[in-house]
Amino acid sequence: MGTARGRRGSLLLTLLLVCVALACGDEGADEGGPPTGNLSLVSTLGGLDTVGYERATEIRDFVFPEDHGPHPGFRTEWWYVTGNLTSDAGRDFGFQFTIFRSSLSPTEPGGPSAWATNQAYMGHFAVTDIDGGAFEATDLFARGSGGLAGAQTTPLRVWIEDWVLESAAAASGQDRGSAEGVGASGSETFPLRLAADGDNFAVELELEAGKPIVFQGDRGLSQKGPQPGNASYYYALTRMPAVGSVVFDGETHAVTGLTWLDREWSTSALSDGQVGWDWFALQLDDGWEMMVYQLRLEDGTPDPLSDGVLIDPQGRRIPLEWGEEVEVVPTGTWRSPEDGAEYPSGWRIRVPDRGWDLTVEPVVDDQELRLAFRYWEGSVAVEGRGEGGAPVAGRGYVELTGYAGFGAQGTTEER
Amino acid sequence: MRLLTRASLRYLTQHRLQLLLSVLGVALGVAVVLSIDLAIQSARTGFRISAETVSGRATHVLASDVGFVDEGLLASLRIDLDVPAAAPVVEGYATSARLPGRALRILGIDPFSEGPFRPYVAGGPTGVDVSRLITTRRGVALSSGLASSGGLTPGDSLAVTVEGQAWTLPVVEVIEPGDELARAGLADVLLMDIAGAQEVLRMTGRLSRIDLRLEDDAEGAARVAAVESALPGGVGLQSVGTRSETMSGMIAAFDVNLTALSLLALIFGMFLIYNAVTFSVVQRRQILGRLRALGVTRGEIVRMILSEALWIGALGAVLGTVAGLFLARGLVGMVARTINDLYFAVSVQGIDLEPLLLVKGWVLGIGATLLAALPPALEAAGANPRMAALRSVVESRARRLVPRAAAWGAVLCLVGAGLLLIPTRSLAVSFTALFFVITGLAFATPAGTLVLVGAVRPILGRLAGTLGLIAARGVGTSLSRTAPAIAALVVAVSVTVGLGVMIQSFRGTLVQWLDGTLRADVYVSLPGPGASRATGTLWPDLVDDFVAHPQVSGYSTYRGIDLIREGDAFRLVALELDPRGESAFDFLDGAREEIMSRFRAGEGVIASEPYVFSRGLEVGDAVTLTTDQGERALPIVGVFYDYGSEQGTVMMARSLYDRLFDDPGITSLGLFLEDEANSDVVVGELLSIVPDGRAVIARTNDSLRSASLEVFDRTFQVTAVLRLLAFVVAFVGVLSALAALQLERARELGLLRASGMTPGQLGRLVVTQTGLIGLAAGVLAVPMGLALSVVMIFVVNKRSFGWTLNMEVGPEVLLQAVGLALVGALLAGVYPAWKMARTSPALALRGE
């Protein structure tokens, strides 16, 4: 209970650090070659030392808009947006946009140079052309200085180069990073503007807040392990209406749809034995959302700390007891053409007490992000019965890690 | 053929000394050529590898004429222009007492931007711990080679001085270079995060350059165009290749100079071979005649002589290679030092053994040997069987050849002079002409010798009686053998004289120029890697303090920038002059007052003589600079004499510079003191107000002057070494030829002994004769040397570098030359004299 997406956070922290180390050399990633980077950074950090960083030790009062912005005292943080969109012409797209922030040391190095920083940023961006059966993904790395990347609260603006998630109000009167007095209150933070581009694909959207903020775990404190402080602060916006455009294969499409924002920051390290996870964020057309994840242990069994929640149309959070109230069963597999890694592909998810019985299918089999590390994250279609057993359909995003490249490369460190 | 081989072998084994000297001659020639080639090649390789390592896979750079770009440009490139591969670079130099004598290159980078550029910064097994480098203030990563020579491990700190300021840099990581190239390229690199590099180089807000990687396709070309059109004023896009070629080209003249000198050594080596082979032919005249009588064909004789030469050449080449490698080790340090002093910082990691250079050395060595052996071989084959045995025939023919050789010499000199008249700046043409002149003079030496000996004979007769007469006559009657030896000696000595006079004149001109130029009483600059290139930026507060010193009555400021752009490199200087400093300039044409008033008014720039000369410009032409307001063409209002920079110098008034560039820095400062002030005392007082941790060089007029001359002397160190080596080769040649000549005269001398001459008298005869040759060579060499120096000073230097030098002939150079020739020749007589004196006349008479 209450661990919500925390595991994902820890593993992603590791991934981020690995990527910082890889950032630099890995041309192979762009060209689809194998990652050639090293793990020196992770190993030097000596099993992710937490000394000097802030820790998520107690329940706190979230303050907005400040908490939409960065928390550099914590080692890692992200702005994670996924969504499913449909064009005017009825063409369906999915996208993932993530900016990871990482503190490379507890304090800033100081000095007169504007380049001095302890902040590193990594971005992942992927678009799925559902009708065309195609998928594109790319990444970006930058230090949090020199105008290349950064995060600020008033107005909200998080960016790596020209990838950005920001207050639309700030964007309209924008002067890079220096606008003041806009978006000081939560209401002015939204709508958000999101923009990112890859070689021949791009997304530009305006996101409404939609439903109220959902605080995961215990009032936003998401406990990850038995020790105090081994936790994250975590909130989400689970149904954000989006309008804007998608470019795919050089063609621009006007789109609308639903997105999902996860915000999490933490410092603590991983616990032993976990090799990856399967995570589901589903938005149903009856106004409900489901978030479920299943952690996998080395022996292949699900970690009992796996979890799930339901969010009702009013935005109320309904926790599910793992192993008693929710059940996830893979129904198929997909093999990566890259290295033959086998992923589950297609699931049946049930919450028998409330009548839920959903079939979840990837809209495109291959939505593997073959970047500096490899994982599968993609758009899915949902069908079945929802709250009270009523027939329902929907769309969502699924993330599968620990099946490919990274698992092989990173396990030593994870352990 | 086996008969001929046996005859060869027998002869050579019986004349081991001669064989040894021939081999030595080739070996020395090859060694000098090879070592110079290797030294230059190694310096070039050192430069190239470090340039390549530092540039990584960058294809273009964005840089400005004044050496920095605004740091905000990077974000606009990456974000607004969407250039994915763009990396900021902040560069400079540091020195450390822990790593003495090394110019440590600070390479400040943003590790996150490095992916497409420098693999040793990026991931991979040899990558840098990005996180520690970024988060440790002023942290450095260095290669394992550098770390071990400084005894450094991660966690230590490295005390360095950067542009006069002391810093303690924490060593965060030791990089294990992935390959030899990276090892060499990183040998003197201090890798820092950009923030730390900006801090220690005092470049906050600025970048040295931005590296770009633009593909060589249509898309890349479009990007180049997009970047170029979006560039702010003052910033230009350059391709990395041409940029490094430009730098490499700066040392081209230096390279040609040294190569020419090394070839000279080889030519002396050829003289040596020619000597030895001629001598062996002369000595074997009888045997060769008999062989011909036995039916051996001319071709076979030629082949026999040439194959002997081939073996000598091959043996010499092998020995020369070994010696060359040793020699190169010594020379490479000097070459690198000179490049550091005059051109740019270069770190040379040992000798770069380029196989092609070895081949070149061998081909030259063996080729030169064969070429030198060809005339005597043909001569041996040319004589008819009976006549070949008669020495008198050879000698009388040799005598007849003397005027013809002199005529040929004159022709060669004319060809050389003709070449010199070609209006070209090519050093190669100048040197070719010089070689023609030298060879021509060599051909004329026998005639000169005869004239000289004829003139000296009566004096000798009076001084030494019959012995003197015999000695003098002997020189003339053995021309076939003495002529090449004398020619070699004359050329060697005249080259020594020529170079000596040239260097002396250069130095004299420099002294004069320094006296005129150094007007201020005290000069202040920062310590840096290049002895003659002031670099860095003085602290403004310190400048204010210095200027405010009560004894300082005025000052000049100097901003010097080494400007490197595609195909062109020169020094750009901004001057704020105290009125007393204006007289420092001496202009080729025009009134100083008028030129200086236009200069002060910012109407244009003044350029140094080498600048306008090497670019074919004149007063009124423009110098184009990329300023903050875009391209600006500034007219040249005057051309001044300058010996400070080979690439040339362009100077503008500080007020003009400030209008064109946003760069308030001052590189060095000249202080004028009150009349009664004592410079040394003021220097001491100035240095005492420099805060701890900072260092400046404050020098009095005199000490700057002597420091400048020190650099000059160091620059010509390599030349001096080569001059010496060339002389050694010639000396060995003379020694071998004269010694062999005297030994061959065993019968003649035995006869003299038998007719009552004492061993002492005989010794005196021999030594007098060789001494006479030496004296002749020395005396002939003086006018020839002066002629050479005239060519070098007024044609080569003026034409190729644009330097006007005042010729200055000191007696010591001339006396040195004659003395050397004389001593060498006398020494050459000592061994044969001693040997003859010890041999019983009967034995000598019996002959072989």
Q: How many domains does chain A have?
A: 1
Structure tokens belonging to residue B103 = 């110019």
Per-residue confidence (pLDDT) for residue B480, from 0 to 100: 67
Residues of chain A in contact with residue B57, where contact means CB-CB under 8 angstroms, are none
Contact A49, A104 (CB under 8 A): no
Mean pLDDT over residues B284-291, rounded?
77
Q: Which of A17-26, B198-207, B790-799 has the lowest mean pLDDT?
A: A17-26
* Cβ distance of A117 and B122 shorter than 8 Å: no
Mean pLDDT of A229-248: 91
ipTM rounded to 2 decimals: 0.83
In a domain, A26, yes or no: yes
CB < 8 Å to B82, chain A? 162
CA distance B777 to B9: 34
Residue A1 lies in a domain: no
- Lowest-confidence pick of A17-21, A47-51, B109-113, B791-795: A17-21
pLDDT band of residue B396 (cuts 50, 70, 90) is confident
A181 and B CB contact within 8 Å = no
Local structure of B408: helix, strand or coil = helix
Question: Is any Cβ of chain B less than 8 angstroms from the Cβ of A123?
Answer: no
Check CB contact under 8 Å for B138 and A41.
no
Report the phi/psi class of residue B630: left, alpha or beta, with left for phi > 0 and alpha for psi in -120 to 50: left
Cβ within 8 Å of residue B264, ≥6 positions away: B495, B722, B726
Give the model's pLDDT for residue A250.
87
Check residues B588 and A4 and name the one with the higher pLDDT. Answer: B588
- Binary contact (A115, B82; C-beta < 8 A): no
Question: Binning pLDDT at 50, 70 and 90, where does residue B20 land?
Answer: confident
Contacts of B136 in chain A (CB under 8 A): 109
End-to-end CA gap in chain A:
24
**Does the CB of A43 have a partner CB in chain B at under 8 Å?**
no
Q: Higher pLDDT residue, B26 or A135?
A: A135
Bridge partners for A344 per DSSP: A333
Q: How confident is the model at residue A178 (pLDDT cuts 50, 70, 90)?
A: very low
**pLDDT tens per residue across span A267-307:** 864 556 667 788 899 999 999 999 988 877 777 777 766 77
Q: Which residues does B778 contact at the CB level (< 8 Å), separation at least 6?
A: B493, B817, B818, B819, B820, B821, B822
Q: Tens of pLDDT along B61-102?
A: 888 877 789 999 999 998 888 888 899 999 988 989 888 878
The answer to whether B127 faces chain A, any CB pair under 8 Å, is yes
Domain locations in chain B as residue ranges: 1-57+244-389, 67-233, 393-517+711-848, 527-695
Out of B116, B130, B195, the one facing A111 most closely (by C-beta) is: B195
The residue-averaged pLDDT of B222-249 equals 81
Beta strands at B649-653 and B568-576: parallel, antiparallel or unpaired: parallel
Name chain A contacts of B131, Cβ cutoff 8 Å: 17, 20-21, 41, 44-45, 104-105, 120
pLDDT band at B391 (very low <50, low <70, confident <90, very high): low
* Measured distance CA(A326)–CA(B676) in Å, rounded: 98
Give the pLDDT band (50/70/90) at residue B470: confident
pLDDT exceeds cutoff 80 at B257: no
What tens digit of pLDDT does each residue of A127-167 get? 999 999 999 999 888 999 999 999 999 889 999 999 999 99
Chain B partners within 8 Å of A111 (Cβ): 137-138, 195-196, 199
pLDDT of B517: 81
Which domain covers residue A182, as residue numbers? 6-414
Who wins on pLDDT, A54 or B120? A54
Q: In B, which residues are within 8 Å of A142 by CB distance?
A: 112-113
Q: Are A125 and A198 in contact (CB under 8 A)?
A: yes
The model's pTM is 0.78
Determine the average pLDDT of the residues in B368-380: 80
**Cβ pair B198:A112 closer than 8 A:** yes
**pLDDT band, very low/low/confident/very high, at B393 (cuts 50, 70, 90):** low
Nearest residue to B177 (alpha-carbon basis) of B127, B130, B141: B127
If one compares B336 and B270, the residue with the highest pLDDT of the two is B336
Q: Does residue A344 have a pLDDT over 90?
A: yes
Q: Is the dihedral of CA B387, B391, B394, B395 positive or negative?
A: negative
d(Cα A168, Cα A180) in Å, to the nearest integer?
14
Of B129, B204, B205, the CB nearest to A40: B129
CB contact (8 A) between residue B75 and residue A23: no
State the pLDDT at residue B385.
Answer: 56
Token pair of A45 as six digits: 């950090």
- Residues within 8 A of B (CB atoms), A 79-108 only: 104-105
Please name the member of B72, B110, B130 whose beta carbon is closest to the beta carbon of A21.
B130
Q: Buried (b) or exposed (e) across A10-29, using 16+ Cβ within 10 A? A: bbbbbbbbbbbbbbbbbbbb
Residue A148 and residue B123: Cβ atoms within 8 Å? Answer: no
Least confident segment among A18-27, B55-64, B304-313, B439-448: A18-27
Task: Name the percent of chain B lying above pLDDT 70.
Answer: 92
Question: Which site among A20, A43, A113 would you substitute to test the B interface, given the most B Cβ atoms closer than 10 Å to its Cβ?
Answer: A113
Q: Which tokens go with B226?
A: 């997009």
Q: Which pLDDT score, from 0 to 100, does residue A378 have?
A: 95
Rounded CA-CA distance A332/A322 in Å is 22
Q: B57 in contact with A at a CB cutoff of 8 Å?
A: no
Q: Which span out of B419-428, B458-467, B540-549 was modeled with the highest average pLDDT?
A: B540-549
B199 touches chain A (CB under 8 A): yes
Q: How far is CA B109 from CA A170, B166, B250, B798, in A?
A: 32, 21, 27, 43
Rounded Cα–Cα distance for residues A168 and A190 (Å)? 7
Residue B835 has pLDDT above 90, yes or no: no
Residue in this structure with the two tokens 């060669």, named with its chain if needed:
B412
Tokens of B414: 């004319």
Distance of CA B61 to the CA centre of its chain: 31
User: Are B123 and A36 an interchain contact pair (Cβ–Cβ within 8 Å)?
Assistant: yes
When pLDDT is averaged across residues A348-353 and rounded to a whole number, the result is: 94
pLDDT at A97 over 50: yes
pLDDT level of residue B403 (50, 70, 90 thresholds): confident
**8 Å CB contact between B282 and B391:** yes
Residue A147 in contact with partner chain B when CB distance is under 8 A = yes
**Which residues in chain B have their CB less than 8 angstroms from residue A24's CB?**
111-112, 114-115, 121-123, 127, 130
Question: B21 or A64, which is more confident?
Answer: A64
Q: What is the pLDDT of residue B740?
A: 67
- B317-356 pLDDT per residue, tens: 889 888 888 888 888 888 887 777 777 777 776 777 778 8
> A36 in contact with B at a CB cutoff of 8 Å?
yes
- Please indicate whether, in this complex, the C-beta atoms of A147 and B72 are within 8 angstroms of each other: yes
Partners of residue B128 on adjacent β-strands: none
- Residue B182 pLDDT > 50: yes
Name residue B430's amino acid: S
Residue A22, phi then psi, degrees to nearest 5 = -80, -25
Using a CB-CB distance cutoff of 8 angstroms, which residues of chain A are in contact with residue B116?
Answer: 27
Q: Where are the alpha helices (DSSP H) in B251-354?
A: 252-283, 285-293, 298-342
Give the integer Cα–Cα distance in Å for B661 and B638: 22
pLDDT classification of B386: cutoffs 50, 70, 90: low
pLDDT band, very low/low/confident/very high, at B394 (cuts 50, 70, 90): low
**Across B268-281, average pLDDT:** 71
Minimal CA separation from A187 to chain B, in Å: 29
Residues of chain B found within 8 Å of residue A138, distances taken between Cβ atoms: none
Identify the residue with better confidence: A6 or B722.
Answer: B722
Rg (CA), chain B: 32
Q: What is the DSSP string of B360-382?
A: HHHHHHHHHHHHHHHHHHHHHHH
Mean confidence (pLDDT) of chain B: 82
> For the ranges A185-199, B2-16, B71-85, B230-244, which has the lowest average pLDDT?
B2-16
B662 CA to chain A: closest CA distance, Å? 19
> End-to-end CA distance of chain B, in Å?
24
pLDDT at B848: 43
Q: Which residues of A touch B176 (CB under 8 A)?
A: none
Q: Looking at residue A141, which CATH number applies to its domain?
A: 2.40.370.10
Pairwise CB contact (< 8 Å): A26 & B115: yes
- The pLDDT value given to residue A182: 37
Beta carbons of B74 and A41 less than 8 Å apart: no
Average confidence (pLDDT) over A340-352 = 92
Residue A124 domain-assigned (yes or no): yes
Of the CA atoms within 13 Å of residue B493, those in its CB half-sphere come to 36
Top mean-pLDDT range of A209-218, B218-227, B364-373: A209-218
pLDDT of residue B751: 79
Residue B803 Cα to chain centre, angstroms? 17
pLDDT of B164 reads: 86
Decide if pLDDT at A373 tops 60. yes
Q: Which one, of A81, A96, A83, A103, lies nearest residue A13 by Cα?
A: A103
**Which H or E run contains B732?**
helix B717-744
Q: Which residues of A touch B210 (CB under 8 A)?
A: none
Among A104, A120, A148, the residue with its CB nearest the CB of B78 is A148
DSSP B569-620: EEEEEEEE--GGGGGG--BSSS-HHHHHHHHHTTS-EEEEHHHHHHHT--TT
- The pLDDT of B766-795, averaged and rounded, is 83
- Strands B568-576, B552-565: pairing is antiparallel
- Alpha-carbon gap, residue B337 to B331, rounded angstroms: 10
Give A39's pLDDT tier (boundaries 50, 70, 90): very low
- For residue B626, the number of C-alpha atoms closer than 13 Å in the C-beta half-sphere is 21
Highest mean pLDDT among A175-189, B666-680, B760-774: B666-680
The residues facing A140 across adjacent strands are A123
User: In this predicted model, what pLDDT tens digit does every residue of A1-34 receive, in sequence order?
Assistant: 333 344 344 445 455 554 444 443 333 333 333 3
Q: Which residue of A has its CA nearest to B81?
A: A162
At CB < 8 A and 24+ separation, what contacts does A222-228 make?
A222/A2, A222/A3, A222/A4, A222/A5, A222/A6, A222/A9, A222/A56, A222/A264, A223/A2, A223/A3, A223/A6, A224/A3, A224/A6, A224/A7, A224/A9, A224/A10, A224/A266, A224/A268, A224/A271, A225/A268, A225/A271, A227/A268, A228/A57
Q: Lowest-confidence range among A37-41, A270-274, B169-173, B635-639?
A: A37-41
Q: Are the beta carbons of A114 and B205 separated by less than 8 Å?
A: yes
- What mean pLDDT do residues B546-568 have? 87
What is d(CA A376, CA A368) in angstroms, rounded to the nearest whole number? 4
Higher pLDDT, B160 or B491: B160
By C-alpha distance, the chain B residue nearest A147 is B75
Q: Which of B281, B293, B267, B150 is nearest to B725 (CA)?
A: B267
Minimum distance, in Å, between the CA of residue A397 and any CA atom of chain B: 29
CA distance B435 to A137: 68
Helix ranges restricted to H, A184-307: 186-189
pLDDT digits (tens, 9 = 90+) for B528-546: 766 566 778 888 999 999 9
Contacts of B124 in chain A (CB under 8 A): 25, 36-38
- B37-48 pLDDT per residue, tens: 888 888 888 777
Q: Is the pLDDT of residue B35 over 80?
A: yes
